[in-house]
Chain A
Amino acid sequence: MPATSPRHDSGDVLVLVGTMKGAFIFSSDAKRKKWTMDGPHFPGQAIYSLAFDQRGGRSRLLAGTQSSHWGGTIRLSDDFGQTWVGPERQAVRFPEGSGLSLAGIWQITPGRADEPDVLWCGVEPAALFESRDGGESWEPVEGLLNHEHRPKWMPGGGGLCLHTIVVDPRDRSRMAIAISTAGFYRTDDGGKSWRPRNNGVRAVFLPNKMPEFGQCVHKVAHHPSRPERLFLQNHWGLYRSDDWGDSWQDIANGVPSDFGFAMAAHPHNADTVYIVPIKSDEFRVVPDAKLRVYRTRDAGASWEPLTRGLPQEDAFECVLRDGLATDTHDRAGIYFGTRSGKVFASSDDGDSWTSLADALPPVCCVKAAVVA
């Protein structure tokens, strides 16, 4: 695959792939037929979070980097990864005396369109940080940092991570987060207070299967045009809420397993969502050794397997919670990466797939964007 040019035209697509040993940037024009790959960026470092922020006149890449030796920070690039800058000091840091130290940066999410300098990041141990300068400096959200439930939150297999950030595009006072293992929490007062919103979501690993909090939520997705409708991939369980998480309904209708990690919303249809079911928590590979993305186009009433171009035998693959993403072209691009280092792309809403990479390090996250 040829090396990419750092310059991009409007309509070009960027697929950002974070792996256990660095980040890779795939790019194409709007047709998404020919791809180039650039990387690794940050070789040897685990990249669990990547983002592309085009608000406020920027074209800024953000990468949450984690060295197994030297710790983590957030690095920035305004030239499509040709050069990376970042504060020399660790940009995301817990306050002295908190007893908490940064173990990883799991999510970077640009804020609302009308707040172009605001970004959010979710970290391990579970906490939410806010930037008001485009990602250069970060401060913890105290209301969540000091939450009364914190002593009872338990780490999952990936650590006690805040991995999902859901911003209400209409209401500045409302946003939500998901933590493994604590569940789904929402604030309605701009982050001062956070209440668990897990009514109807199971916790199969606890004696009380329906606790107020303590669920292992793996991913939550929604469409900005209908922000109150949320889709949730749980550690066992597939759910939808139509009221910002006040209540959840089971929507595991026709999927081979309701265990899984990844979930992504279609960019234009609020009823269309993608998942990659996983056989079980004990055997974390796709069911029947068939690599299938499942799509609902009716908000979870039914799901269909998407298989054309994906290996359908001897595929002992797993896609992690941030390993599935969509671009925003009219005919949406869908992308995912596996723990075995494969990356697949679809330029037709998931109807058919091609391989972008076959032997990357284990894929931690995939993000996609269309250059404005």
Chain B
Amino acid sequence: MPISVIVPRALTPYTRGVGTLVIEERCRTVGDALAAVAARVPALTDRVLTEQGELRRHVNVFVDEESVRFIDGLATPVPDGSTITILPAVSGG
């Protein structure tokens, strides 16, 4: 089953307004899924990952309802049919 990637509203200008990307490619990990996103919308992953490929400090990525920060980061497994949600962290002042 494909994986869904939910794009935060702030980044939809880079997806031509599309709020959910459907990834048909086989993805074992969150990193694989973001690589598939990068191949399609590189500007989107620029905002999620640093140029060294690390998750930005104030960006959270969830597999279904679990934050990957508490699992295995970008190596977190992605089951078939799961939903990856990208959200800005609570930060600022």
Contact = CB atoms under 8 A, between A and B. Distances in A.
Given A88-B14, A89-B43, A69 B52 contact: no
B88 interface: yes
B60 to A, nearest CB: 10
Interface stretch (A5-13, A90-98, A216-224, A315-323): A90-98
Nearest to A44: B92
Nearest to B91: A68
B17 to A, nearest CB: 14
Contacts of B14: 88
A70 B43 CA distance: 11
Interface string A49-83: 00000000000000000011111000000000000
Interface string A234-248: 000000000000000
A89 B52 contact: no
B73 to A, nearest CB: 15
A270 interface: no
Nearest to A88: B43
Contacts of B52: 94, 96, 98-101
Given A68-B58, A69-B59, A93 B51 contact: yes
Contacts of A89: 42-43, 46
Interface in B15-39: none
B80 interface: no
Interface string A108-133: 00000000000000000000000000
A71 B56 contact: yes
Nearest to A21: B92
A102 interface: yes
A70 B10 contact: yes
Contacts of A67: 47
B6 interface: no
B78 to A, nearest CB: 22
Contact of B89 (A69, A71, A88, A101): A69
A51 B76 CA distance: 42
Contacts of A90: 46, 51
From B42, B51, B58, B59, residue with most partner A Cβ within 10 Å: B51
B43 A101 contact: no
A71 B54 contact: no
Contact of B46 (A69, A71, A98): A71
Given A88-B14, A89-B42, A69 B50 contact: no
Nearest to B48: A70
Contacts of A102: 50-51
Nearest to B93: A20
B11 interface: yes
Contacts of B47: 67, 69-71
Contacts of B53: 96
A44 B11 CA distance: 14
29 contacts: A44-B92, A67-B47, A68-B58, A69-B10, A69-B56, A69-B58, A69-B59, A69-B89, A70-B11, A70-B48, A70-B59, A71-B46, A71-B50, A71-B56, A88-B14, A88-B42, A88-B46, A89-B46, A90-B46, A93-B51, A94-B51, A94-B52, A95-B51, A98-B52, A99-B52, A100-B52, A101-B51, A101-B54, A102-B51
Given A69-B91, A70-B10, 9 more contacts: A68-B91, A69-B58, A71-B47, A89-B43, A90-B46, A90-B51, A98-B52, A100-B52, A101-B52
